[in-house]
């Protein structure tokens, strides 16, 4: 696979740092995860560079910080990811509850948050060094991403959005379990039709997070806080993004996650021993990738 194709396929799943910069969930299962992770410093640099266009002074610092972050992640986080995969693999042959599924989601969130927190000093240093032209580059990149999201979801009829959601669910679940039976596909379609996960709301939430990032960066550029003060503000933003919003909006977010957990458990309940064995094998393969990466110090 060419470098350019690899950059397109893996970085958003496996890289991390603030600004839109969050570490990927290895459990998402990028097909080239070993290659991607072992080249993560270069992949991460080029992905981030597309957002802000680093200058000559920033480039070596960013590369060094990425190398250090990845080394920390390999030593500290990959073992936790492997343990999580082992637990899910052990559970795959049996029935699972919605509560068990949500506990896995929570653990993945914790692992992503750990990377974001670890990256805060480097992210703060970078954020304080950004110039006006770089903020404009970031704003244009956000606008381009948002246009792509609207093209994918917003500029569609409700029926088209349901169909796309169903297609994505089917692709994900068949990658995991193998071919689904007609009744299982019908269950997935009902889940897609009845889902509370409004993709238009998701788009609004994306843009609000982008606006929070842009507001913080403009504040840094305008008010020039000390590094210590800036890092506290970066941490506050990380936590606002990571935690459910207050009030009715946060309740809606929690309800959507609970629905997702119920849907996963409901589909798993319909799976055959062969499908569950396939799922366990997939998880074992992911764990093998992670353990191989851990061994490569």
Instruction: Please state, in angstroms and rounded to a whole number, the distance separating the CA atoms of residues 264 and 7.
Output: 30
Interval 48-57 mean pLDDT: 94
Stronger pLDDT, 37 or 291, i.e. the higher one: 291
Instruction: Give percent of the chain above pLDDT 90.
Output: 62
Give pTM, 2 decimals. Answer: 0.84
- 7: part of which helix (H) or strand (E)? helix 3-9
Mean pLDDT of the chain: 85
- Max mean pLDDT among 20-24, 81-85, 152-156, 194-198 falls in 81-85
**Among 217, 177, 193, CA closest to 96:** 177
* pLDDT value for 18: 30
Instruction: Please state, in angstroms and rounded to a whole number, the distance separating the CA atoms of residues 15 and 23.
Output: 4
The H helix count followed by the E strand count for the chain is 15, 0
Which residue reads 């969050």 in tokens? 22
User: Does residue 238 register a pLDDT over 80?
Assistant: yes
- 190: part of which helix (H) or strand (E)? helix 182-194
* pLDDT value for 26: 31
Instruction: Give percent of the chain above pLDDT 70.
Output: 87
* pLDDT value for 4: 42
- 134: part of which helix (H) or strand (E)? helix 132-149
């Amino acid at each position: 696979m060419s470098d350019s194709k690899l950059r397109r396929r893996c970085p958003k799943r496996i890289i991390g740092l603030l600004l839109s910069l969050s570490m990927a969930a290895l459990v998402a299962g990028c097909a080239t995860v070993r290659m991607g992770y072992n080249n993560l410093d270069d992949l991460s640099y080029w992905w981030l560079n597309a957002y802000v266009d680093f200058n000559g002074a920033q480039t070596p610092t960013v590369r060094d910080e990425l190398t250090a972050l990845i080394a920390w992640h390999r030593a500290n986080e990959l073992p936790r990811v492997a343990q999580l995969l082992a637990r899910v693999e052990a559970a795959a042959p049996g029935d699972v509850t919605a509560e068990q599924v949500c506990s896995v989601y929570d653990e993945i969130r914790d692992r992503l948050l750990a990377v974001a927190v670890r990256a805060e000093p480097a992210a703060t240093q970078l954020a304080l060094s950004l110039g006006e032209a770089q903020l404009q580059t970031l704003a244009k990149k956000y606008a381009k991403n948002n246009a792509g999201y609207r093209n994918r979801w917003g500029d569609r009829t409700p029926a088209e959005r349901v169909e796309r959601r169903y297609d994505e669910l089917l692709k994900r679940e068949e990658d995991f379990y193998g071919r689904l039976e007609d009744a299982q596909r019908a269950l997935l379609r009902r889940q897609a039709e009845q889902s509370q996960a409004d993709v238009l709301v998701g788009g609004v939430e994306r843009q609000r997070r982008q606006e929070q990032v842009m507001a913080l960066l403009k504040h840094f550029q305008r008010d020039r806080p000390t590094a210590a003060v800036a890092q506290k503000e970066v941490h506050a933003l990380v936590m606002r993004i990571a935690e459910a919003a207050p009030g009715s909006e946060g309740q809606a977010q929690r309800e959507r996650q609970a629905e997702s957990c119920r849907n996963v458990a409901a589909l798993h309940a319909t799976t055959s021993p062969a499908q569950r064995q396939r799922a366990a094998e997939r998880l074992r393969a992911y764990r093998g990738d992670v353990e191989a990466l851990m061994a490569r110090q």
